[in-house]
Amino acid sequence: MRLGPKSRVAASLSHCCEQELSVKCETPEDLEKLYDSMEVVGVTCLGASHAMLSRTTFDMCIVDEATQVLQSTVLRPLFAAKRFVLVGDPDQLPPVVRSRAARRLGMEESLFHRLMSDAATSTLALQYRMNAPLAALANTVAYGGKLLCANDAVARARLDVDLQASI
């Protein structure tokens, strides 16, 4: 189930949205039964204030892009789980904190960075998003040659652009 506005979800996934799934619920008991039947729930860290999450404990909470989330924001979903995994890239953007005073006091440090240690961190070297030339650039700038294309199809991937059609 995806909690949050249906308008923020791809049309192909709208059938997984709370708004769609709860249409037939006529009583609070129906709603509770629906929520209790969900094995996987998707929500943003800010959306984790949903009433369902205050009554539920999940086995696992996985937070994607965790290096970009404020510590105070990421804690809420973690309280709804027995265990958690923070996924992110410490070499990418930190949380956005506009206040210089808040940055100086450490608000820019994510929980991911705070907990990062050799014992608690696993670095994934295979990537599926960049072809070989782009991966080479990323390796030069940030990853010390440790980033690898997952397979030959990824390494050779190209975007064909018809320049005549765009004129």
Topology at the third CATH level for domain 44-122: Rossmann fold (3.40.50)
**Angle CA 142–98–96, to nearest 5:** 40
* Segment 23-43, tens digit of pLDDT: 999 999 999 999 989 999 999
Q: Where are the domains of the chain?
A: 1-42, 44-122, 123-167
The two tokens of residue 99 are: 């206040």
More confident residue, 17 or 51: 17
**Angle CA 12–17–22, to nearest 5:** 135
pTM for the complete prediction? 0.80
CA dihedral 154, 85, 88, 139 (to 10 degrees): -50
